[in-house]
Amino acid sequence: MYLLGEQPPYIDQLIDSLQTIPGDMLNGLEPLEAPIEIASAENLYSEHSTDRLYFVQQGVVHADIEGRALFYLTEGDLVGLRQGMGLPPCTYSVRQQAILVPYDRQSVFSHIHKDADRQYQFTRYILGQSALFTDALARSTKVKAHPATGFMHVKKGESIIQEGDDADHVYIIMSGHAEAFVKDVKVGDVYKDEVFGAMAVFTNEKRSASVIASEDSTVMTVPQDQFVDLMQTHPRICSTLVENMARTINDLNKQLLEKGQ
């Protein structure tokens, strides 16, 4: 296996140590048929059964995940371990002539598990590949500062946000429940996992409402200048914020309609 892009020397050493393992594991197991010569193939598993694994005897097999070219397999590698595992689909293609030896997937696993040494080699092979991908991910991911999040524990009846105060934090209810008030009139509820206090942060205005715990609660606090970083590293927070704002707008529209009747 070779990952695309530049690699440090220790990665080459790891790859070399893994390259001989599949051949040793398959030793003594009869292939399904004679080696297959493939001139080219856009998707190996669209043309051949997914019940097969392929030992690369000669040539190169390219692997794309969700349309992105990530790695390729060469002589000595085993093709198709990901198939049928419920993982994001991996497309294996052959762009120049390759020779593949087909094996029945279930027979390969049975053969491995009949021998303790083959089990050890298989575990080493899988862990080695996992280490390769982990290293590649670590080198391709930009380092981001971790938001200086904190936690506050509030008792029932205590204020989390006070109307009219400066907006310097965004809050997330980790456990418990709170209610929002404007001029002592309840205007909404704040539920577990809900992001609140963001509007004033975005607009640089004073707090437009008070939020008071209606039961003992734990609240995450995120400084204003680090909230954007938190949304980038945790996309679910961004979608939750949009959902919360949409619900607030919907509640306000209902109140306006009720007052107009």
Question: What are the tens digits of pLDDT across the range 217-250?
Answer: 999 888 877 766 655 555 555 556 556 655 555 6
The percent of the chain in helix, strand and coil, each rounded to the nearest 5, is 35, 30, 35
What b-and-e string marks burial along 32-66, b requiring 16 or more CB atoms within 10 Å of the CB?
beeebebeebeebbeebeebbbbbbeebbbbbbee
pLDDT at 24 over 90: yes
Question: What are the tens digits of pLDDT across the range 54-96?
Answer: 999 999 988 887 777 777 888 999 988 877 666 667 888 898 8
pLDDT at 154: 92
Question: What are the tens digits of pLDDT across the range 140-168?
Answer: 655 454 445 578 899 999 999 999 999 88
Burial class (CB in 10 A: 0-12, 13-18, 19+), 155: exposed
Interatomic CA distance for residues 40 and 152, integer angstroms:
61
Question: What are the tens digits of pLDDT across the range 92-137?
Answer: 889 888 999 999 989 999 999 999 999 999 998 888 888 877 776 6
Q: Return the axis-axis angle of helices 116-140 and 105-113, rounded to nearest 10°.
A: 110
Helices (H), the chain: 9-19, 21-26, 44-47, 105-113, 116-140, 198-203, 227-233, 235-260
Interatomic CA distance for residues 119 and 111, integer angstroms:
9
Q: Which domains does the chain have, with CATH numbers?
A: 2-140 (2.60.120.10), 150-260 (2.60.120.10)
The mean per-residue pLDDT over the stretch 14-32 comes to: 90
Interatomic CA distance for residues 223 and 242, integer angstroms:
19
pLDDT at 197 over 60: yes
